[in-house]
A = this chain, B = another copy of it.
Amino acid sequence: MILTVTLNTALDITYRVTSLRPHAEHRVSEVVERPGGKGVNVARVLAALGYGVTVTGFAGGPTGQVLRERLAGAPGITDALVPVAGPTRRTVAVVDQRTGDTTQLNEPGPHIGPAEWAAFLRAYDTLLADASAVALCGSLPPGVPVGAYAGLIRVARTAGVPVLLDTGGEPLRRGIAARPDIVKPNAAELAELTGSHEPARATRDARRRGAQAVVASLGADGLLAATPEGHWRAAPPARLRGNPTGAGDAAVAGLLSGLVDGLPWPARLTRATALSAAAVLAPTAGEFDPADYARLLAAATVTDEESAA
């Protein structure tokens, strides 16, 4: 199975309102609740592709209970979340039906105590024994040490399990030094890590910090990859209009499944680009239409970036 780790899982709530006006009162016309957090979103895409996935991380309180009940109804996903005392955070996405734009409100997440962190480490160790790859995804909840991902990467490497890291800020800076197989920063995370706003330069710089491969997701500009096999840019056939929320998680699912399948890097990047683009086209964040995916898989382009170095 593929293992995804989401230390700060979330109950993702989407509200539809006619038009969001600050300081006004709004009647919410539609409420949708879904298990969330980056690693959970990655798992959902992997399960839709037919891979067996196990999700771990933390869940607690009434929101954690709802999240677990919803996960239990998701085919192909095994719940190995570790119970904690604090309540799982909510995220609220307010969709303005007039403009289609989304305003996002993210709770900070529960405080994780030392005993809870130790329980997670034991669970992680056990789960790695059956994992073909592991993705470490998203922000850290309060109480988790900032070097947590670096430690989890070392444990995975010792167990011989390839590991992908998708986070930002100091957890990324510390994590990358522990030599993960892949890191997938977005443009802002990459610039914060390297101090450079020139993506090609920044991607190579990030790789020199310890990652075996760096795949930067640059929104409409596609993916930029620095790997041991070469440097590439991958892009969908045309600029897409849609909802970019969850596109990065779909790209992670593409990279991870390509790694597990032993695909060469260009094929992994094609898959990640096609999944990411299909997610942008889907009305619900992080979902995708298999027909869009198949079409984009045939149309995505991967170009060699060696000459641009």
Contacts and interface: CB of A to CB of B under 8 A. Distances in A.
A294 B104 CA distance: 42
Interface in A18-62: 20-29, 31, 62
Contacts of A27: 106, 108
A63 to B, nearest CB: 8
A65 B24 CA distance: 29
A212 B107 CA distance: 47
A285 to B, nearest CB: 13
Contacts of A21: 103
Contact of A25 (B22, B99, B106): B106
A31 B107 contact: yes
User: Which of A20, A25, A99 is the most central at the interface, judged by chain B CB atoms within 10 Å of its CB?
Assistant: A25
Contacts of A2: none
Given A62-B66, A65-B62, A104 B26 contact: yes
Contact of A29 (B15, B66, B99, B108): B108
A277 interface: no
A247 interface: no
Given A62-B65, A62-B66, A66-B62, A24 B103 contact: yes
A103 B31 contact: no
Contact of A105 (B28, B106, B107, B108): B28
A73 to B, nearest CB: 15
A161 interface: no
A94 interface: yes
Contacts of A101: 22-23
A17 interface: yes
23 contacts: A15-B92, A15-B105, A17-B105, A20-B103, A22-B96, A22-B101, A22-B103, A23-B101, A23-B103, A24-B104, A25-B104, A26-B103, A26-B104, A26-B106, A28-B105, A28-B107, A31-B107, A31-B108, A62-B63, A62-B65, A62-B66, A92-B92, A94-B105
